[in-house]
Structure 1
């Protein structure tokens, strides 16, 4: 019997596998895809703070980000720039594989191409069954299987309360340019679209939308092609569900839910790597305590939720509040906000403030709302 079963070999799952295996625990990781890290469904933009906190990205960084251009519906432009690197563009597939390899070097056992069909909580262990009829048992389990996983619901932990769908495509470009973000209700209703150069002649173009994200992305690709920004409007589109609110409960006896599966994602941008890794760190501390004391009670595991809510709870609530406000805006109102921001120099004030951070948005949101007041 294993000490821990981990469902999902993304960054959160592999980080926990690496930590537990390095502490001498017997760990098995189930991953539904045959090749770890694929299909790629992320822009790979990771804040500098994340790379400093988690020195795990060697050999996977494609580029640096110190600026971004924001566009309103009428093409008003705000350019954000700060001295120094604010974020990095990471090869997500390579990063996921690298982290999995680190875990395997410590002794974690990986089973790619193994989709978990059922999970049962028994008196003294967890039992997992795959679609291939394989059965595995362990003392505890970590659900890190991404947003689309139904396992938390099967365990009585409910479902994420709100979500959006992301659509993204890799395209060929002529030369290199800055990261661009488009705020336009006709392009990405209720959300935003992006253009992220990843290499001299490659970029990722994508958007979030509650309805028909593929249709909206095809329209954006056609527009960019007409503008001469991309070589062709034809591209393979990948889709990904993004949770906007966390699960109300992310644990029970012997079980922890972490990362996208738990809804530990920035509702402002949909980014989940840093928050997921922070929560994975807290989850590992709880799991180590449980395994060291042979105690797998709900009371002990509740400490994990208390820890991550103390760290992220306020940030997620403010981010979701801002997300809901933005969804109600018309294009005319968005243009007016751009006008106010530029005329009052709000973006310049925020850039000089320590409250503006790539990963922490709550204080900047509240300060921005104060600036926008009369």
Structure 2
């Protein structure tokens, strides 16, 4: 006996969005969430590109702040200011937004099952085993893994998973000195490929975080030292601390096997340069829903591969280019980073970045910088070849 047409493992924003698409089409959808409370603990910087309004529903009540630019800081604090007149990103209440999307799926007919941790998934039979003492098994026609980097469904499809740790502090400034329409980004070889970010919620409250190849204790120490040594953040009070993991983009990750698919962080559908992936995940949730509906209508699991095709056609080239950019900058030492910032400023790159920059798609900017010879003039000689390969990929 089939319990559900589709079982979604994970009630995060991507899982809930996918569940909503399926439930709206009249399918019986079950969403299994291991946590007691959706969205908790907070594990996201909560900064979404303005394109979100074209991709998914974002009510104003979940928008805390609007951002139009960034200050980019080199290790020695040479600063590049990039900005646009219009809003480029929204600082959101992720916990509230996650619950909104979950409720939206429930209103469409999906059944949300909290405290339902999955221990095993059979991708052929679509049997999903619970981790509690009863070992209850649920049966569906399709299983969708949306459980983030630790997705059980992803583990059933792929042999390995790679991620980096992330830490974030909610801090309160002593004075109301934050520019609410600008984020700050700090780069340093010690935390590469990650970086430190400061995302303002108000003139006095900020989310200060970083990700990198360090354990949580080391990341916390880096943030504490940063607060104590940076003039801007000295005497800031830490209100709360959060930790999480960011999956690494993986070119070889399988996202479809038999009657199972994975979406979002579970599928490593993240930007190699920043680790962000929510907008990609939302679009992939739609691609996945279209393929699953076609598969169910025709009783043909092979049609699920159309989801993978749609994902790769839309995002693969951009993500591969970002991966090359990330690898290039990961090789730079602090002195090289400082020199690069100085040369970029000398060559008027702030205006170029402001004109062509996009927090969700960096290919257009990189292409323009290569075309104008800017990158070749600021990068070390040894990295020319890699950037040349990147140019040839456009």
TM-score (ref. length: structure 2)? 0.88
Q: Which of residues 296, 306, 311 is equivalent to 1:291?
A: 296
* Shift in alpha-carbon separation, 1:121–1:239, aligned structure 2, 3 A: closer
Match of 1:220 in 2: 223
Match of 1:184 in 2: 188
Match of 1:128 in 2: 128
Deviation track 1:277-297 (CA, whole Å, cap 9, x = no partner) reads 01111000001111222222x
Q: Does 1:373 align with 2:373?
A: no
Deviation track 1:162-216 (CA, whole Å, cap 9, x = no partner) reads 5322211212223233311001123x23321111112343211111111235424
* Shift in alpha-carbon separation, 1:65–1:72, aligned structure 2, 3 A: same
- Partner-residue secondary structure (3-state), 2:16: helix
Map 1:293-332 to 2 at 5 A: 293-296=298-301, 299-332=302-335
CA–CA distance in structure 1, aligned partners of residues 21 and 227 of structure 2: 44
Contact 2:123–2:143 (CA under 8 A) maintained in structure 1:
no
Deviation track 1:138-163 (CA, whole Å, cap 9, x = no partner) reads 110101110122432323x3334x53
- Partner-residue secondary structure (3-state), 2:367: helix
Contact 1:222–1:233 (CA under 8 A) maintained in structure 2:
no
4+ residue segments displaced more than 4 Å = none
* Shift in alpha-carbon separation, 1:368–1:359, aligned structure 2, 3 A: same
Q: Does 1:273 align with 2:278?
A: yes
- CA RMSD, 1 decimal: 1.8
* Shift in alpha-carbon separation, 1:61–1:301, aligned structure 2, 3 A: same
Deviation track 1:112-147 (CA, whole Å, cap 9, x = no partner) reads 11111011234xx41111111232111101011101
* Shift in alpha-carbon separation, 1:129–1:140, aligned structure 2, 3 A: same
Contact 1:56–1:99 (CA under 8 A) maintained in structure 2:
no
Higher mean alpha-carbon deviation, 168-177 vs 309-318, is at: 168-177
CA–CA distance in structure 2, aligned partners of residues 121 and 228 of structure 1: 51
TM-score (ref. length: structure 1)? 0.92
Q: Which of residues 225, 236, 252 is equivalent to 1:231?
A: 236
Higher mean alpha-carbon deviation, 142-151 vs 71-80, is at: 142-151
Match of 1:152 in 2: 154
- Partner-residue secondary structure (3-state), 2:61: coil
Map 1:1-374 to 2 at 5 A: 1-122=3-124, 125-132=125-132, 133-155=135-157, 157-160=158-161, 162-173=162-173, 174-175=175-176, 176-177=178-179, 178-186=182-190, 188-225=191-228, 227=231, 229=233, 230-232=235-237, 235-296=240-301, 299-353=302-356, 356-369=357-370, 370-374=373-377
